[in-house]
């Protein structure tokens, strides 16, 4: 698949001046300022193909927003290279702006004192969109996001959910192939969140847009993302599908099965242990000592299939770690990995 978004060795270092306390410290900082370098993103590389939705995840301060700002052309990387739809975003900002849409959950691209409809008209003129195309896209967005009930309202009077829906529509008015979404549903109620998720699924599956999403909402990730990149302390520590991540970090699962014949011979199944009996119900789980990601460890769904194939079952239920638990385990593993790398750096430099 031809990559639409390419990041190769992206790094970004910010330099700040240390502010010392007190009057003497302020004067010293003025006369002899001390500059400190902070690495926000370090050697980040990944690609996203056409019609894919990639979730860029990580704790607060991990470097997600800085990465998106380099890919949208807002920031120039200290090192490395980026291409979006064949354009280097920080060198050809105007051309790049026509290829992308962007929504930042805490900011708006609409005009605060104008009705939404007039903001859309200004965006139409900025991008040179023909009137028939503009009208057709607004009708499509209205059908998916229910905009017409408030698009004559001034932006300052919109609720958060209404404003973000309008920002989504505004970011796609010029029909860009690539969309960047930085925590777009933060603070929304569950009804509006589901409406926005449906809209994004439509854009990816029906329109073939490439979407890069950052979020802390794991339900959003589970329902939208095909692939996850985990960034921590500015470095990529994990890149894979949700199934791969569940297999690697979500090894805890249980299958509760009620057998038709309670006296049936319980032959062992590879990688699956009988944890306990609860009356007529049997509880199965991974064999003791096996960890998620090991070769012989069955996934929850593989275990479910094997149990159904082996036993006559009258009732069965699956319980597995939810995605928040899985990602928490991945974050903790990432912290340990970055910490071990940091501890070896002085030795490497001295050698």
In which band, very low, low, confident or very high, does the pLDDT at 55 lie, cut at 50, 70 and 90? Answer: very high
For the stretch 97-127, pLDDT in tens is 999 999 987 788 899 999 999 999 999 999 9
Q: What is the pLDDT of residue 272?
A: 85
pTM for the model stands at: 0.76
Q: Average pLDDT over the chain, rounded to whole?
A: 84
Domains, the chain: 3-246 (3.40.50.300), 251-320 (no CATH)
Q: What is the pLDDT of residue 279?
A: 73
Q: What is the pLDDT of residue 335?
A: 64
For the stretch 246-300, pLDDT in tens is 777 765 778 888 888 766 667 778 888 888 887 778 888 887 644 444 456 777 7
**Stronger pLDDT, 23 or 74, i.e. the higher one:** 74
Over pLDDT 90: what percentage of the chain? 43
Residue 280 structure tokens: 């007529």
Sheet holding 178-182, edge to edge: 100-104, 178-182, 210-214, 53-57, 227-232, 235-241
For the stretch 151-186, pLDDT in tens is 999 999 998 889 989 999 999 999 999 999 988 887
Average pLDDT over residues 201-224: 89
In which band, very low, low, confident or very high, does the pLDDT at 306 lie, cut at 50, 70 and 90? Answer: confident
Q: Which of 17, 107, 2 has its CA nearest to residue 65?
A: 107
Q: Cβ neighbours of residue 145 under 8 Å, at least 6 residues apart?
A: 165, 168, 169, 195, 196, 199
Q: What is the pLDDT of residue 332?
A: 73
Most confident range, picked from 130-144, 274-288, 297-311, 333-347: 130-144
Q: What is the pLDDT of residue 223?
A: 86
Q: What is the pLDDT of residue 290?
A: 45
In which band, very low, low, confident or very high, does the pLDDT at 96 lie, cut at 50, 70 and 90? Answer: very high
């Amino acid at each position: 698949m031809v990559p639409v978004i390419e990041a190769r060795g992206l790094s970004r270092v910010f330099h700040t001046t240390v502010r010392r306390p007190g009057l003497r410290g302020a004067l010293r900082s003025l006369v002899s300022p001390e500059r400190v370098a902070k690495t926000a993103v370090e050697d980040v590389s990944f690609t996203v193909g056409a019609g894919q939705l990639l979730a860029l995840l990580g704790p607060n301060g991990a470097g997600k927003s800085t990465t998106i700002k380099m890919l949208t052309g807002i920031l120039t990387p200290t090192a490395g290279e980026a291409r979006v739809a064949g354009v280097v975003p920080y060198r050809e900002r105007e051309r790049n702006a026509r290829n992308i849409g962007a929504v930042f959950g805490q900011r708006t691209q609409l005009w605060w004192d104008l009705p939404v409809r007039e903001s859309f008209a200004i965006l139409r003129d900025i991008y040179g969109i023909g009137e028939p195309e503009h009208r057709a896209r607004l009708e499509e967005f209205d059908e998916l996001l229910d905009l017409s009930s408030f698009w004559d309202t001034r932006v300052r009077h919109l609720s958060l959910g209404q404003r973000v829906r309008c920002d989504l529509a505004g970011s796609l008015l010029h029909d860009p192939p690539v969309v960047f979404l930085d925590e777009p549903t933060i603070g929304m109620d569950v009804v509006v969140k589901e409406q926005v998720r449906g809209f994004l699924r439509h854009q990816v599956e029906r329109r073939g847009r490439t979407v890069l999403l950052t979020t802390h909402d794991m339900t959003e990730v589970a329902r939208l993302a095909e692939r996850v990149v985990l960034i921590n302390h500015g470095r990529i520590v994990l890149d894979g599908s949700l199934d791969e991540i569940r297999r690697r970090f979500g090894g805890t699962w249980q299958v509760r099965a009620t057998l038709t014949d309670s006296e049936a011979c319980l032959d062992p199944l590879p990688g699956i242990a009988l944890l306990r009996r609860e009356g007529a119900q049997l509880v199965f789980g991974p064999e003791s000592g096996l960890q998620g990601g090991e070769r012989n460890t069955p996934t929850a769904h593989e275990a479910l299939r094997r149990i159904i194939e082996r036993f006559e079952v009258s009732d069965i239920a699956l319980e597995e770690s939810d995605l928040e638990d899985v990602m928490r385990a991945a974050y903790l593993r990432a912290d340990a990995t970055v910490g071990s790398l940091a501890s070896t750096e002085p030795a490497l430099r001295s050698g």
